Every structure is written in C-alpha cells, then in structure tokens.
Amino acid sequence: MQQSDWYVKDLYQTEIIMVKNWMTPSPYAILPGGTIREAAEKMEKLRVDCLPVIDDNEQFLGMITLRNLFSHFLHEANHEELASSFLNRNVVCIRPTDSILDVKSLPYSHLPVLDDSGKLIGVLTQRDILEGFSKYMYKLQQRQISVEALAAISESAFEGIAVVDENGMLQEFNEAYCRFIDIKREDAIGRHVTEVIDNTNLHITVKTGVAQRGVLQNIHGQDMVVHRIPIWREGRVVGAIGMLIFEGVSEVYKIYERLQESNRKNDPQKDLFTLKEERDSRITIDQIIGTSDEILHVKRIARKAARTAATVLITGESGTGKEMFAKSIHHLSPFSTGPFISVNCGAIPEHLFESELFGYEEGAFTGAKKGGKPGKFELADNGTIFLDEIGELPLVMQTKLLRVLQEKEVERVGGVKKYQINARIISATNRDLKEMVDKGAFREDLYYRINIIQLPLPPLRERKKDIPILIAHYMKKICEKYQVPVKSLSAEAVAAFMNYHWRGNIREMANTIERIVTLVDRITIEIRDLPLSIHNKIEEIQDTTPSKAPTLIAEAKMEGNLKEKEIVLQALRQAGGNKSSAANILGIHRTTLYQKLKKHGIY
C-alpha cells in the first residue's frame, strides 16, 4: 500500500467526516397529536420543507414533507386532521457515527439521525453533507501536499533515509541510501529492512519504541553513525525512521526530533509538512453543557454562524461562556485549520494596544524587539481572531480597527509595508454597545461592522434547567482535580443553587463549587455548607414573597418556626448564653445559628 493510500484510509476513519459533526442537533419536531395546519404553520415559520415527528419519549416516528402538505391542501381536505394520518414512515435513518461519504449518495434532502435507542438526536441536510464533504476534500488535499513535501525533503537530503512500517517492511528509501548500498529503490521498497540494510536494528526500534541517536552501525564494512527514531500515532508505534549520517545532523533529523518530542508529551499527531499548521481550538458546540431551550437556541444560531465568514458579536454577562462559544464557532468554520488568537482588550494597557494588535518593526520605539514583532492580526492570518471585551477599546483604536475590517490589511507600528490578512473576526462584550454608541463612547460604524451576526448568551438565572447538569459536571471535574471522592449536593442545596441570582454566572458557580468541595469533608454537601451569600439570598426571597391568606401549610410552617425559636432559646439557656456552645448543642454551624437568631429576632 502506498503512503498516500495510508493517509486516505486514516482520514476516512477520523471523526471529521462523521455525521455527528455536521448534523443539526436537537432539531425542531412535532408530536403526533398535532394537526396538519399546525405542521404547515411551523414549517412556514421555520422555513423548512420537512419536519420529523416524535412521540413523547422522543422516539422517531416519521417525516412530514412539504410535498405531502401540498397534496393535502390541493384536495381540500380537513386541515384539522392529525398530521400523523399521512406520516411518511418509509424514511432512511442514519447513525451519528456514520460517515458522510456513505450517506452522501442517498436521494433525500433531510436524513434523521437516531441513537441506538431510536431517539431522534439530529437531522442531516444535503447542505450539511456538502459542508462536511468540502472540508474532507480540503484535508485530503493537505495530506497529499504532506506526502509530496515529505518525498521532496527525503530526496534532497544528504543523509540516507529509510522508513519502515510496524512490521519492519520498507516503505520509503531515498536515493542517497540507494547509492550508498548500491540497490535500486524499487528493489528495496516492500522488503523487510533486514534483507536490505546490514546489521540494522530498525525493526527492533518499532517493537521497543525507544529512539537511538548517534549509534554506530557497520554497513558494507564501514562504521556509520545512524539515528533510529520511532513514529508514534495515537499512543502506539506505527513505524520507524532510520537516518544514515554522512556529514552531521540534517534539517530532516531536526524536524523528526521535534515530532518525537511532541509525541512523547502525548500531543495529538500534527501534519508537519502542510503549508500551514492546523491548530484547532478543540472546543465544539457539543461540549457546551446545557439542554434548556435558551441554550439550545443559541447553539443553533452559533452553528449557522460558523458556516459563514461573517463577523460575530457575542454578548452576555461576565462568566456566561463567551470564549467557549467563540472557539466552537472557529472549530466549525472555514477557518478551523488556522490558528485561534484570543485578545483581551480589557487587559492590554492603552499605550500598548496598537503594537499588540498590529505588531511593530525593528527600531519603531525604544525597547522594540530586534527584528520586530508580528501583531495579533498577523498571527491570526487564515484563522480567527477573538476580540474579548471589545467595549474596552479606546476610540483611537476603534478607528484603526475599523480600517482593518474595511481594507483587510494591517500596517505595523513604524512600518511602511502593509500586510494582507484573511482572518475571521469574533468579538465579545458584557457591555451594552448600543448604549455606548448613543453616549459617543463607541463608534457607530464599528458597531455595525462587528455586529453582522449577534449571539446573545443567556445568563445562568434564565436557564435554571441547566444548573443541576452544570453542578454535576463541575463537581466531578473539581473532585478529580483535587483527587478527592466525588461529592454531591443535597436536594435542598441544589434548590438553593437554582434560586440564587448568580451575578457571575457559570464562572461564579464553578468557583463556589470549588470552594465547598475543598472546605467540606463530607460526601454530601448540605445547605448549611453553602456560602453566606446564598443563604442571604434565600432569606431575601422568603422575605419578599407576597403575603397571602394563611393556609393550613402556612399555619403549620408558623408553628414550626415557633417551635424552632423555642428550641434555640432552650439551647442558649442551657449553654449559658454562649453561642458557640449553643450551636454545638443544636448540631449546626455557628453561622447558621446567627442566621436563626436574626430570623427569630433573638438578640
């Protein structure tokens, strides 16, 4: 098998072409109890030409198509008839792990994606398939470039280079090596390395995975210095490279040295010979936690926005996950093979803004680095630049940023040459830019330039359905971080989390969980273990609840409060007025006792 064939096979098996990466997750659907009129209205509102039908357990039942609706309305049938009465059940369904190469030839515009239990988890359209196929072809082309570049370097090197697979069979053998041992390349390729090279241990290197550098090997009666380097992929050795040194360590060896150093750190395999390095952010929309309608709606917008090159403005309070959405948009965008460069506009001193964003030439100012320095826009070429907290940009820099967006070129500080850039712009802010525009603090033309697609992230208090899921995620993550048994919150503590305002949103919640995980020794964290700010918020909610006519439950609660007050007073009398001793008698924390004293007006 040729090396290029290996690349194609390897690429075919990667996740990039799996259906789950290109489908629309959590698609809109209707229940079988809906009428034909309701189905038509929903399709018109969503601008789709078919809708999946699911039961109450989200099990897929079939599809209603626009053609079905036209036929029904033409015959003047009853529009209130149940949509399930003419449901198309003869539908080809696919799995999330299927390859888009296998489903691209299916003659359907919409393919429902089901999990192993038959639950509808997504829909794959012809446009989705085209997007995925385009990216597949691009990566295939880049792999081909890698093969050609490797061949060119191999043949132009002064050293003899031999490459074996995991079985010790020669796959590459350059002309320099052929000349030295007097053998034709076609006679060497495909044979076991021991049959071609004297005293070789390259096949042993494949088995041990241990590199050997600068060792002596006698070839044709001559002692030669050789290097043997294993090739790692996904945690296992898939081959080895042998280099015969004639005059010192070459550039080829340095390249592979860096490759092996990368693999020893368990980094993902990278293509070293592509024209530009692929640096995915590795964060996808599916990794963003949440099943509420609010966050699912934002995910749908983000997925659509990612497929375009339009600028995106992500708005939302601090801690809502703006950078995570920016990285996930980059990951799904046409710029995903380029770098993701993040710039915190609120953390750069004003006098350094221009040099940081646009770079500077040598001698541009006192202390300028020799040779100059590229700016963030140059580094983000063919990728994505994320301008976080863009509302903090000074007006002068807003003007220069606007010119970059309009002209697609950058000029370094102290330079005369302009650099063309091809980078996607994603901005984020927790401020009201429209209000800043009205006050003259933000340029109106820049606002409309960066606000082509707006992605407003909901605060945590507006997506309370996601709070228990986030609690479980961060509990597990933080317990693993500190190597402690996995802890959990009691039902009352979870309810307190859900009723809390969370001004810092997910970031504040994660910090709160980290605090209680490290301070509380018990496996189950009770409501009394939560920070005082959450307790105060619970009391505030209770105090501001509108009063109503007392019910039986309310009367019972009042009696319970009176009983609680009596028990607290009894404990204080027993402890001689010492609050710490009284708290021990009651079996509660001293802070909780103070709260109860305040609640019952005991001073």
Q: How far apart are CA 273 and CA 149, in angstroms?
A: 6
pLDDT, one tens digit per residue, over 467-507 is 988 998 899 899 998 888 888 888 888 888 988 889 999 99
Name the domain count of the chain: 5
Residues 257 and 227 in one domain: yes
Residue 32, both tokens: 């079988």
Residues 235 and 322 in one domain: no
In 3D space, the residue among 66, 124, 65, 74 whose CA is nearest the CA of residue 94 turns out to be 124
Please check whether residue 310 is in contact with residue 452, taking contact to mean a CB–CB distance below 8 angstroms: yes
Residues 343 and 482 in one domain: no
Q: How far apart are CA 235 and CA 243, in angstroms?
A: 23
Which of 456, 475, 502 lies at the terminal end of a domain, its last residue? 456
Q: What is the mean pLDDT of residues 331-359?
A: 84
pLDDT, one tens digit per residue, over 378-388 is 888 889 999 99
Which of 264, 295, 321 lies at the terminal end of a domain, its last residue? 264
Residues 541 and 603 in one domain: no
Which of 422, 456, 490 lies at the terminal end of a domain, its last residue? 456
Residues 221 and 245 in one domain: yes
Residues 471 and 573 in one domain: no
Q: Is residue 296 part of a domain?
A: yes
- Percentage of the chain surpassing pLDDT 70? 80
Residues 510 and 561 in one domain: no
Residues 224 and 172 in one domain: yes
Parent domain of 404: 285-456
For residues 280-318, b (16+ Cβ closer than 10 Å) or e, as one string?
A: bbebebeebebebebbeebbbbbbebbeeeebbbbbbbe
Q: What is the pLDDT of residue 246?
A: 53
Q: How far apart are CA 216 and CA 13, in angstroms?
A: 40
The CATH number of residue 577's host domain is 1.10.10.60
pLDDT, one tens digit per residue, over 150-184 is 555 555 444 688 889 888 899 888 888 888 888 88
pLDDT, one tens digit per residue, over 252-272 is 444 445 455 555 554 444 443
Q: How far apart are CA 460 and CA 30, in angstroms?
A: 28
Residue that has been written with the tokens 């609680």 in this structure: 564
Q: Is residue 390 part of a domain?
A: yes
State yes or no: pLDDT of 4 exceeds 50: no
Confidence (pTM)? 0.50
Cβ neighbour number for residue 486 with a 10 Å cutoff: 12
Q: What is the mean pLDDT of residues 348-352?
A: 78
Q: Is residue 117 part of a domain?
A: yes
pLDDT band at 69 (very low <50, low <70, confident <90, very high): confident
Please check whether residue 198 is in contact with residue 232, taking contact to mean a CB–CB distance below 8 angstroms: no
Angle between helix 590-599 and helix 552-574 axes, rounded to 10 deg = 120
Q: How far apart are CA 209 and CA 33, in angstroms?
A: 62
Q: Is residue 133 part of a domain?
A: no
Angle between helix 322-332 and helix 293-306 axes, rounded to 10 deg = 40
Q: Is residue 275 part of a domain?
A: no
Residues 558 and 539 in one domain: no
pLDDT band at 543 (very low <50, low <70, confident <90, very high): low
Please check whether residue 271 is in contact with residue 279, taking contact to mean a CB–CB distance below 8 angstroms: no
Which carries the bigger pLDDT value, residue 44 or residue 514? 514
The CATH number of residue 471's host domain is 1.10.8.60
Please check whether residue 101 is in contact with residue 12, taking contact to mean a CB–CB distance below 8 angstroms: yes
Q: Is residue 563 part of a domain?
A: yes
Q: How is 26-49 classified by DSSP, letter by letter?
A: S---B-TTSBHHHHHHHHHHHT-S
**Residue 553 Cα to chain centre, angstroms:** 48
Q: Give 245's strand partners.
A: 225
pLDDT band at 244 (very low <50, low <70, confident <90, very high): confident
Q: Average model confidence (pLDDT) for the chain?
A: 79
Residues 594 and 472 in one domain: no
Q: Is residue 416 part of a domain?
A: yes
Q: Is residue 560 part of a domain?
A: yes
Which carries the bigger pLDDT value, residue 205 or residue 130? 205
Q: What is the signed CA dihedral for 124, 127, 129, 130, rounded to 10 degrees?
A: 180
C-alpha gyration radius of the chain: 32
State yes or no: pLDDT of 274 exceeds 50: no
Q: What is the pLDDT of residue 83?
A: 60
pLDDT, one tens digit per residue, over 405-423 is 888 888 888 877 888 888 8
Residue 292, both tokens: 């509420």
State yes or no: pLDDT of 145 exceeds 50: no
The CATH number of residue 44's host domain is 3.10.580.10
Which amino acid is present at 521? D
State yes or no: pLDDT of 216 exceeds 90: no
pLDDT band at 54 (very low <50, low <70, confident <90, very high): confident
State yes or no: pLDDT of 19 exceeds 50: yes
Residues 105 and 20 in one domain: yes
11 CB burial (10 A radius; 0-12, 13-18, 19+): middle
Residues 360 and 484 in one domain: no
Q: What is the pLDDT of residue 96?
A: 87
Residue 550, both tokens: 């007392």
Which carries the bigger pLDDT value, residue 12 or residue 301? 301
State yes or no: pLDDT of 450 exceeds 90: yes
Q: What is the mean pLDDT of residues 135-156?
A: 57
Q: Of 90-104, 135-149, 361-375, 431-445, where does mean pLDDT reach its minimum?
A: 135-149
432 contacts: CB under 8 Å, gap ≥ 6: none
